[in-house]
């Protein structure tokens, strides 16, 4: 009794009369067919019943060890800013405008991410970007870093604010930036999203 449905390249059909008519003379498929015909598949067939699915699988027979696989979130974080970092940009918008004028990231970048480093007396913004977006956004990769990726917020503007107030002011300035002509003609506008992770897991879409 045959275990599998037989295959015949010479099988007759109504139109066209033969499967062979589909394959030009000298086609690679003919070579592959000849090679397959020479393969001894007895050991493979022996692993299956005449019904093809009644034999226990390797897992059921205990021949294969099943190990637990844990999928981990891929999170790539930027390096901390250098100590005693200073900036000649007087405002956040001035830094952002400079990025628009000087940086030329690849068009494959889909997401720009603003992060926030904190110390006792300083808040430092950092900009990174990724080619991932949407359902892949939980896996954070860094695919582009601008040459001036850090911006220390001016102490004169932020020193008397608590963290929540600092974040609110940054968000307001970023949203204001997205309304400027400079933004609309920059690489930022080509991205799918501009996000922040100032609040840990809470990613806020600015764009």
Beta strands 150-152 and 193-199 are unpaired
In the predicted model, what is the mean pLDDT of residues 177-182? 93
What is the per-residue pLDDT across 6-51, written as a single tens digit (0 to 9) for each? 666 666 555 555 667 667 777 777 777 877 787 887 777 776 665 5
The Cα 67–Cα 81 span in angstroms is 41
Of the candidates 124, 133, 130, the residue with the CA atom closest to the CA atom of residue 198: 124
- Assign 201 a pLDDT band (cuts: 50, 70, 90): very low
Q: Where are the domains of the chain?
A: 1-69, 92-205
| Tokens describing residue 200 | 């840990």
Q: Are 126 and 81 in contact (CB under 8 A)?
A: yes
- Cα gap 100→108, rounded to integer Å: 17
Please give the pLDDT value at position 29.
Answer: 78
Strand partners, 118: 123
* pLDDT tens column, 143-156: 889 999 999 999 88
CB atoms under 10 Å from CB of 19, counted, come to: 14
Grade residue 87 by pLDDT with cuts at 50, 70 and 90.
very high
Q: Coil, strand or helix: which one is 71?
A: coil
**Candidate from 5-19, 100-114, 127-141, 146-160 with smallest mean pLDDT:** 5-19
Q: What is the mean pLDDT of residues 113-132?
A: 88
Q: Which two tokens stand for residue 172?
A: 């307001």
Give kind and range of the element (H or E) at residue 126.
strand 123-130
Count CB neighbours of 191 within 10 A: 19
Which residue is listed with tokens 């009794």? Answer: 1
């Amino acid at each position: 009794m045959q275990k599998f449905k037989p295959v015949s390249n010479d099988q007759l059909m109504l139109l066209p009369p033969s499967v062979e008519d589909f394959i030009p003379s000298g086609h690679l498929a003919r070579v592959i067919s000849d090679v397959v015909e020479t393969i001894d598949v007895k050991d493979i067939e022996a692993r299956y019943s005449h019904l093809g699915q009644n034999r226990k699988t390797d897992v059921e027979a205990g021949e294969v060890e099943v190990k637990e696989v844990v999928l981990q979130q891929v999170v790539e974080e930027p390096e901390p800013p250098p100590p005693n970092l200073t900036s000649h940009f007087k405002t956040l918008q001035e830094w952002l405008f400079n990025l628009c004028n000087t940086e030329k990231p690849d068009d494959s970048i889909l997401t720009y991410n603003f992060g926030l480093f904190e110390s006792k007396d300083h808040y430092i913004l950092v900009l990174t970007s990724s080619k991932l977006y949407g359902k892949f956004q939980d896996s954070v990769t860094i695919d582009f870093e601008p040459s001036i990726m850090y911006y220390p917020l001016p102490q004169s503007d932020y020193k008397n604010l608590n963290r929540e107030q600092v974040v609110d002011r940054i968000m307001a300035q970023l949203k204001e930036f997205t309304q400027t002509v400079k933004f609309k003609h920059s690489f930022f506008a080509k991205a799918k999203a501009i996000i922040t992770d100032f609040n840990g897991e809470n990613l806020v879409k600015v764009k």
